[in-house]
């Protein structure tokens, strides 16, 4: 059920300019579920790490606004001087799942940032990975 709700909301966002406004109760009624199921979807699928910001106002006239992020130079992922292979892969997967990068870019980024490709691991690999990702993100994500 969570996947269906998430897909529905993502489709609504694609059709909007920057955000959607929904009612937790109306969504729960529409999907014939409890409001806590809607809350679960919002807390797990529409996170800042996944490229969303959620504003929730409770009460009689309450609403939920879900904002999608627009990627520009200032919104690039902040990458420290070193990033582990696992953290890099999670970040790359997140960008792919949000459709900021396409399938080919996803594969290129995952392959070029792996310890296997580097032929070594550890602190130096983490530093190289960080420099590489920052350079590639500047090319791929800035429009």
Which residues, including other chains, have CB under 8 Å from residue 71's CB and lie 6 or more apart? 100, 141, 142, 143
In the β-sheet with 19-22, what is the strand arrangement from edge to edge? 19-22, 63-68, 52-57
SS3 of 100, please?
coil
CATH class in words for 2-68: alpha beta
Predicted model pTM: 0.50
* Angstrom distance (rounded) from CA 135 to CA 58: 42
Q: Where are the domains of the chain?
A: 2-68, 73-140
Q: How confident is the model at residue 134 (pLDDT cuts 50, 70, 90)?
A: confident
64-93 per-position pLDDT tens digit = 999 876 555 554 667 889 999 999 999 999
């Amino acid at each position: 059920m969570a996947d269906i709700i998430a897909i529905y909301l993502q489709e609504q966002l694609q059709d909007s300019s920057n955000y959607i406004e929904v009612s937790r109760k109306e969504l729960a009624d529409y999907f014939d579920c409890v409001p806590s199921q809607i809350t679960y979807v919002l807390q797990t699928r529409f996170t800042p790490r996944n490229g969303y910001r959620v504003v929730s106002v409770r009460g009689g006239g309450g609403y939920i606004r879900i904002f999608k992020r627009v990627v520009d130079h200032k919104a690039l992922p902040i990458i420290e001087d070193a990033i582990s292979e696992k953290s890099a892969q999670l970040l790359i997967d997140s960008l792919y799942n949000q459709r900021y990068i396409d399938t080919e870019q996803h594969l290129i980024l995952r392959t070029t940032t792996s310890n296997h490709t580097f032929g070594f691991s550890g602190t130096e690999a983490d530093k190289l990975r960080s420099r590489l990702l920052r350079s590639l993100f500047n090319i791929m994500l800035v429009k």
